[in-house]
Structure 1
Amino acid sequence: MYTPVSSRAANAYRQVGVQSGIDGATPHQLVQMLFDGLQQSLHAARGALQRGETENKGVHIGKAVRILEEGLKGGLNPVQGGELAANLGTLYDYCIARLTLANLRSDLALVEEVVALIEPVAQGWKEMGQAQVAAGGGGY
């Protein structure tokens, strides 16, 4: 299938923009990007469920699970993070289990539960970054 040059250029630009954002990001900003992606995936899954789009629901829930498992949970440091890292790991495991069940049952309430659990953590992370920047720490 033919893709117009303008469309290919736009896609390339978006990919370069994303890569540039990753390349110059602090560890704190990278985690913020993971939370942003997670929230986007959860909201997209919620919309797909509401519209009855089974395939899209599965794609978005799958992406959210990967972000939780490979990104957020995988980035925890239990040695430095201690009890906080352990608690976050437990929260992420619970969210993964709830999303897996939500996918199997096409259960909007389970996705909403995960959104409600993740939003305060994501907001707290964002506020920490803002406080570090305001204190002259550059975000990490």
Structure 2
Amino acid sequence: MSYAMMRSASALYRQTSAQGSVEVADRHKLIGMLLDGLVDRINQADGHIRHGDVAAKGESFSKAIAIVGELRESLDHKVEPVLTGRLDALYDYITRRLLHAQLNDDRRALGECLRLIEPLREAWRDIRPSYLAGQA
């Protein structure tokens, strides 16, 4: 099997695996998957900047920005308006920093995005047990 075929098969496996995970995921898990995906795409974009792969960089940034858009769409402003307002502002800021990083190959801006999203990602993981207890 050629490298291109192995890469294509690997990508198809990841896509199929992710689709299967999404189909059985609850709302909490879906948000966690989005946060994980955002971190992955930011790290990929950073690698593409370092290696000068413009096309792949554009794809990674596009996916990262789309994920942030999905996170913003998932906010229910009726439940906790102060908290969701702050998260919305954070997601807006991250989107702007991602656009800046893409246009300027600014790896520091990517690092800032990671530093902003990582505590939220960890907190989201930590509330999983209490979320499940409330579902019972």
Q: TM-score range by the shorter chain?
A: 0.7 to 0.9
Pick closer, same or farther for the CA change 1:117–1:55 going to 2, 3 Å.
same
Of residues 22-31 and 46-55 in structure 1, the stretch that sits farther from structure 2 once superposed is 46-55
Pick closer, same or farther for the CA change 1:78–1:65 going to 2, 3 Å.
same
Match in the other structure for 1:92: 91
Indicate the SS of the match to 2:74.
coil
Match in the other structure for 1:44: 44
Indicate the SS of the match to 1:80.
coil
TM-score normalised to structure 1 length: 0.82
RMSD: 2.5
Alignment of 1:1-140 (within 5 A): 14-69=14-69, 71-133=70-132, 136-137=133-134
- Residues of 2 paired with 1:10 and 1:122: CA distance? 26
- Residues of 2 paired with 1:7 and 1:111: CA distance? 26
Percent identity over paired residues: 31
Indicate the SS of the match to 2:31.
helix
- Which letter does structure 1 place at the counterpart of 2:42? L
| Structure 2 gap segments, 5+ residues each | none
- Residues of 1 paired with 2:71 and 2:97: CA distance? 16
Deviation at 1:94, TM superposition (A): 0.3
| Structure 1 gap segments, 5+ residues each | none
